[in-house]
Amino acid sequence: MDLIKQRKDIECMIINKAMSDKKFEELLFSKPSQALKQIGVTVPEEFKLNVIREGKGELTLVYPVKNAVGELSELELVNAAGGSLTSSSQRSSDG
């Protein structure tokens, strides 16, 4: 599966769950890793997980880190480890 599509699919799943479940939304901002674990998404401990709430009239673009040729991206490393990585002006940090 294309890594960009996989990441977007996971993000959509998380957003839909948060919009339909207030307790999940609160946990997503207070303890993101725990919230994601509830829906079967595991983020390795060495990753810092940021959840950002977009404000009215804002658009957030996440530009991934470029890697040297032959190196795996963080997303590829997470997927290789069997986990998944995600990411709207409220911030939460976990890790």
Tokens of 18: 């948060």
Domain count, the chain: 1
How far is 35 from 40, CA to CA, in rounded Å? 9
Residue 55, domain extent: 3-94
Q: What is the pLDDT of residue 89?
A: 39
Give the mean model confidence (pLDDT) for residues 17-35. Answer: 96
CB 86 within 8 A of CB 36: yes
**30-89 pLDDT per residue, tens:** 999 999 999 998 888 888 889 999 999 999 988 877 765 555 566 665 655 455 444 433
- pLDDT band for 94, please (50, 70, 90 cuts): low
